[in-house]
Amino acid sequence: DSSFLAMWRLWWFGDALGLMILTPLLVTFCHAIKYRLVSVRASKLAELTLLWTGMILTGSNALIDSNINELHFHLTPMLLLPFVVWAATRFNTAIAASTTAIIAWMATGYLVSGIHPYAITLPQFAVWQTQEYLAIVSVISIGLSALMHELRDQRHRLESATETLRYQNEQLEEKVRERTQSLERANAELTSLNSQLKELASTDHLTGIANRRQFHEAGERELHRLKHDQGKAVLIALDLDYFKSINDQYGHEAGDNVLRQTLPPVKNNIRPSDLFARVGGEEFLIFLTDVEEATAVRIAERIREHIAATDMEVPSGTIRITASLGVAKWDQTCDLKTLINRADIALYQAKREGRNCTRTYTTETEDGDQMAPGPV
C-alpha cells in the first residue's frame, strides 16, 4: 500500500507540476500570437539573451552531481532563482513562464540521465526534491510576474488617468482663460460706458465744456481744498449781451453756433486747470484758483475784449457780439452758492451800466442791487 501511495503521489504531483509549468506558457504565447504581441525591442532582446545565457551556464553547474568526498566550490539550484526574479520583473508572463520551462527542461534532462545536485539519496527522493524545487520556481516566477503585470497595469491606468486629468485641467484652464478675457472685455466696455455716461452727465452737450452739475461738484471740492490750504479763488460770471435777438433773427441753430464760437476767446485767456462751465442759456462761469482779484479782473477784461473783437459766423455772414462780466472774490468763509450769487450781482450791475463791461462785487454793490437785471 505504501508503495502504491508513493507512486500515486509521484504521478499526481508530476502531472500537476507539468500543468503548473506548461499552462501559463501555452496560454500566454497563444494570447500574444492572437493579439500580435510577439514583437520585442532590440534592447529587450539583448537583455533576454543575456538572461537565458547566464541562466543556462549557471544551471549547467548547479544541477549536476555533488560529490561530498571532493573539496571544491559547488553551486546549488537556488542560484537560479535570481534569474527567475529577473525574468518576472523585467519581462512579461510569457517570458517568465519560458524561463521556468527552460529550468524544468534542464533539471528533468539531468535527472533522467541520473544526474542531480542532491547528496547521496534514492532516485525516488531525487525526483520528489526536483519536483518541489520546480514547484517553488514556478510559483515564484508566475506569481511574481502576475504581480508585476498587475502593477504595470495599475501604473498605466494611473498614467492614463493622470493624462486625462491633465487634459481636462488644460481644457478647464483654457475655458477659464477665455471666460476671464470675456469678463475683462465686458468690464472694459462697462468701464468705458460708465466713463461716457459720467462724461455725458458732467458735460454740456452743446459746447462740450462742464455743465452746471459738474461745476457745482468740482467747485465745492476746490473750495474745500482751498479752505484747507488757505488758498485764494475768484469767480467770473459771463453773459452774452442781447443773445435773445440773435436767436430771434437768425434762429436757434445760429445761436448755438455763436455759443460754441464764444469758447476760444475764453479758453485762450485762462489756464487749463481753471474750471469753465456753461450753467444755462448764454451764461458761463469761470472759477479761478490761486489768483488775486485784480488779476481776475484783468483776465475778465481780456476775455470781454476778445469776444467783442471776434467775428461770429451766422447764416447771412458774420456778426459781432459783446459780453458782460461780474467778478466776485472768495472770502474763505462763504460757500459756492453764495459766491455764485455775488458774481451774478456784479454781472447784473454790468448789465445795468450799459453792458460790454466788467464789474466787481462789493458790499455796496449788494446793497444797491434792489432790482432785477435789465434785458439781456
Q: Which residues does the annotation mark as catalytic?
A: 282
Rounded to 5 degrees, what are φ and ψ at 329?
-90, 140
| Cell numbers standing for residue 173 | 484652464
- The DSSP annotation for 1-47 comes to -HHHHHHHHHHHHHHHHHHHHHHHHHHHHHHHHHTT-----HHHHHH
Q: Taking a C-beta distance cutoff of 8 angstroms, is the pair 285, 207 a contact?
A: no
User: Exposed, middle or buried by CB within 10 Å (0-12, 13-18, 19+), for 322?
Assistant: middle
Sign of CA dihedral 198, 204, 206, 209: negative
- E-strand spans in the chain? 233-240, 275-280, 283-289, 312-314, 317-319, 323-329, 358-360
